[in-house]
Amino acid sequence: MVKYSFVIPTYQNKLYLRNALEALNNQAGFSGNDYEAIVVDDGSNDDTWSFIQGVNKNYELKYIYLERNKNSCRSRARNYGWRIAEGRYIIFIDADIIVKENHLAELERCFRINSDLVVIGTRFNLPETIPYENIFDEGVLDKYKSFSDRTGLLEDRHYALEMLSYNLSVYRFPWMMVFSCNMALKKEKLQEINGFDENFKKWGAEDIDVGYRLFLKNEKIVINPRLEVFHQYHKSANDGTEESQESTRYLMSKHKGLFMDVPPGQEFHIFRPEILETGKLFRYSKLDDMFRKKQEYQHTEILNFTGKCDINEFKAYILEITHKENYRIIVNDYTEDTDLDIWIQLIEGANSIPEYYPASKRIRKKSSFSVIDRILWDSYK
């Protein structure tokens, strides 16, 4: 039995899908006995199957074709995929996603620490088309690995993570970070919540709905800063604005208590009309105030892990000060080669929740940006 199952919904997307499947061949340290890929075609008429045959060199590929009808949607395709999957863990990516060669290794690192995690990764938006022949050309993708001069490629979640921390325990609404373009969890957890809601017929919010339902069941959602994927560049006749607005309204009507702990009248700041118009959930003012768990800060302690001290001693000190009241604890990781990123999200019973920032993910634009400033770029205000 394979351990991991990639589930990939697709519709009229064979060019990008072939790139996505090709990238799966290059999983460092894993063989075809470890993982499979399940493509669920939601009724394409572009001869997808013929186009992608033979692309899987190192793993088993399953192709499922669903006839197009009134029930067709991404949720239905994903549900069909994970239900027939043989893997213990289900990995969701989209048909236009390219994974890095360390994708499975990074998931393995997380699940070794705690097998019950819901693991979320991030995404870069590529500004150019990547030819099929260049998927394994390191030079093509290497130029997009640096944050410092590639802020135009970052999705909205990167700005939230920059401001609020890569420790989702800091978040009042961690399920808002759950995107199905890069997420993984045990198959049994999907069975417990009956997977994706197939009433989301349009684009968007069906993954946030999954995140919220997992959150209600006290499942632990963590972000892995090293679990990064590339979203392939392609133009679309539909920018998703109208669909996203419809899906967001359904999400809000389905979960009346979605933001129940937000003070009366504050909901307007989360889903302002202009946000619904653009379909963007994170572009609003006072991000820090709205998403951060309420803590009163009387002291600030900045801890920089550079690898010059013992990691266990460093963790012990973090645990010690988390028991103190009204501490703002900022942890900057300059090595990013330990389990500090996941470990810090699993701390329980903290009076002061530590923030975690991997140094390589720091966003810079025009001038230095400090988390202490707690401000967004002008274009995000």
- List pLDDT tens digits, range 187-213: 999 999 999 999 999 888 899 999 999
Same domain, residue pair 24 and 163: yes
Give the end-to-end CA distance of the chain in Å, rounded to a whole number: 49
Same domain, residue pair 328 and 206: no
Tens digit of pLDDT for each residue in 218-276?
A: 999 999 999 999 999 876 645 556 777 788 888 888 887 776 555 444 443 333 333 33
What is the total count of domains within the chain? 3
Helices (H), 259-339: 267-270, 273-278, 287-291, 311-322
Mean pLDDT of 25-44: 95
Same domain, residue pair 87 and 20: yes
Domain that residue 258 falls in? 242-291
In the prediction, which pLDDT does 162 show?
86
Residue 237 lies in a domain: no
Mean pLDDT of 163-180: 92
Model's pTM, two decimal places? 0.89
Residues 68 and 221: their CA atoms lie apart, in Å, by 33
Same domain, residue pair 94 and 68: yes
Tens digit of pLDDT for each residue in 288-304?
A: 666 778 778 899 999 99
Tens digit of pLDDT for each residue in 111-138?
A: 999 999 999 999 999 888 888 888 877 6
Binned at pLDDT 50, 70 and 90, residue 286 comes out as low
Strand-pairing partners, residue 40, are 9, 64
